[in-house]
């Protein structure tokens, strides 16, 4: 099978000759959830931005469903760390923004917005404004905006890092339920080892200076995961294993 995302010998350097990523190769199969873990500055976010076509590569290749990123833009949605909601637009109108960018006819938008807000549990707050929402709800709006374009690939850059632990855990569980239903190919950047283990089929550990793949760890916990998993020995053992591997490559 051809990978949904295939990255080969990728390097990235800025004009000041600072090398951020060197000779990086990694792939993700269709429907796979892959988390990227590594120290700050190792190039995780830069890698996502290159996959999304938001930052040019210096050398190597990125193929998304067999296409270069700029030709695969409509297959992907990006969820950033900051929800970046427009304060003067309601929840529904913030979600609609993605449909406006795609040129979806106005008549088709309400049903799609209603469906995706229902999907993320925001059906009853569609007329609210961002200032009236909790941090977790604002993140759900950001996720809804990403999903309303029916992507096949989700690129998520520390989307839950600003939330308290209870909200973060709850959104992790909701994201996994959606992942199981829709089978997106997901690349997820996080600094939380427990979050990466809970969500992922596979974890990719990145080293820094320059960014590179150091190790890949399979997470064989099955598809159906819930809150109780976090206290099970298999989960705790994997958290410990990833922690040790990450500590071994940290500066």
The token pair at 42 is 């190792």
What does the pLDDT average to over 195-223? 93
Q: Rounded to an integer, what distance in angstroms lies between the CA atom of residue 113 and that of residue 125?
A: 12
Q: Range of 176's domain?
A: 5-249
The per-residue pLDDT for 161 is 84
CATH of the domain at 112: 3.40.50.300
Residue 128 binned pLDDT confidence (cut-offs 50, 70, 90): very high
What percentage of the chain reaches a pLDDT higher than 70?
A: 98
Q: Rounded to an integer, what distance in angstroms lies between the CA atom of residue 51 and that of residue 53?
A: 5
Burial of 122 (0-12, 13-18, 19+ CB in 10 A): buried
The per-residue pLDDT for 14 is 84
Asked if pLDDT for residue 251 goes beyond 70, the answer is no
1-18 confidence digits (pLDDT tens): 679 999 999 999 988 778
Residue 36 binned pLDDT confidence (cut-offs 50, 70, 90): very high
Sequence-distant (6+) residues with CB within 8 A of 202 are 32, 33, 34, 35, 216, 217, 218, 219
135-184 confidence digits (pLDDT tens): 889 988 999 999 999 899 999 999 888 888 888 898 899 888 888 888 99
Higher pLDDT, 122 or 35: 35
**Half-sphere exposure of residue 233: CA atoms within 13 angstroms, side-chain side:** 0
Mind giving me the DSSP string for the chain?
---SEEEEEEEEE-TT--EEEEEEEEEE-TT-EEEEEE-TTSSHHHHHHHHTTSS--SEEEEEETTB-GGGSGGGEEEE-SS----TTS-HHHHHHHHHHHHT--GGGHHHHHHHHHHHTT-GGGTT--GGGS-HHHHHHHHHHHHHTT--SEEEEESTTTTS-HHHHHHHHHHHHHHHHHH--EEEEE-S-HHHHHHH-SEEEEEETTTBEEEEEEE--S-S---GGGGGSHHHHHHHHHHHHHHHHH--
Structural domain count of the chain = 1
What does the pLDDT average to over 79-95? 92
Query: For the sheet containing 33-38, what is the strand order?
Result: 76-79, 153-157, 185-189, 33-38, 202-207, 212-218
Judge contact between 183 and 30, C-beta under 8 A.
yes
The per-residue pLDDT for 5 is 97
Residue 88 binned pLDDT confidence (cut-offs 50, 70, 90): very high
The per-residue pLDDT for 238 is 97
What does the pLDDT average to over 191-216? 94
37-73 confidence digits (pLDDT tens): 998 889 999 999 999 999 999 999 999 999 999 999 9
Predicted TM-score of the model (pTM): 0.92
């Amino acid at each position: 099978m051809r990978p949904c995302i295939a990255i080969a010998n990728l390097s990235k350097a800025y004009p000041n000759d600072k090398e951020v990523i060197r000779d990086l190769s990694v792939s993700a199969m269709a429907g796979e959830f892959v988390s990227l873990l590594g120290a700050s500055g190792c190039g995780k976010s830069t890698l996502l931005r290159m996959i999304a076509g938001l930052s040019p590569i210096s050398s190597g290749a990125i193929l998304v469903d067999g296409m270069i990123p700029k030709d695969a833009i409509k297959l992907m949605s990006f969820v950033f760390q900051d929800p970046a909601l427009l304060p003067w637009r309601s929840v529904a109108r913030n979600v609609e923004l993605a449909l406006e960018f795609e040129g979806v006819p106005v008549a088709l938008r309400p049903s799609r917005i209603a469906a995706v807000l229902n999907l993320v549990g925001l059906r009853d707050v569609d007329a609210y404004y961002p200032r009236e929402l909790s941090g977790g709800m604002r993140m759900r709006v950001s996720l809804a905006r990403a999903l309303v374009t029916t992507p096949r690939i989700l690129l998520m850059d520390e989307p839950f890092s600003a939330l308290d632990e209870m909200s973060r855990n709850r959104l992790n569980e909701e994201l996994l339920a959606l992942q199981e239903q829709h089978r997106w190919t997901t690349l997820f950047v996080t600094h939380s080892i427990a979050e990466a283990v809970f969500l992922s089929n596979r974890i990719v550990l990145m080293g820094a200076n320059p960014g590179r793949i150091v190790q890949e760890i399979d997470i064989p916990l099955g598809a159906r995961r819930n809150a109780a998993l976090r206290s099970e020995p298999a989960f705790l053992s994997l958290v410990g294993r990833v922690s040790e591997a990450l500590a071994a490559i940290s500066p």
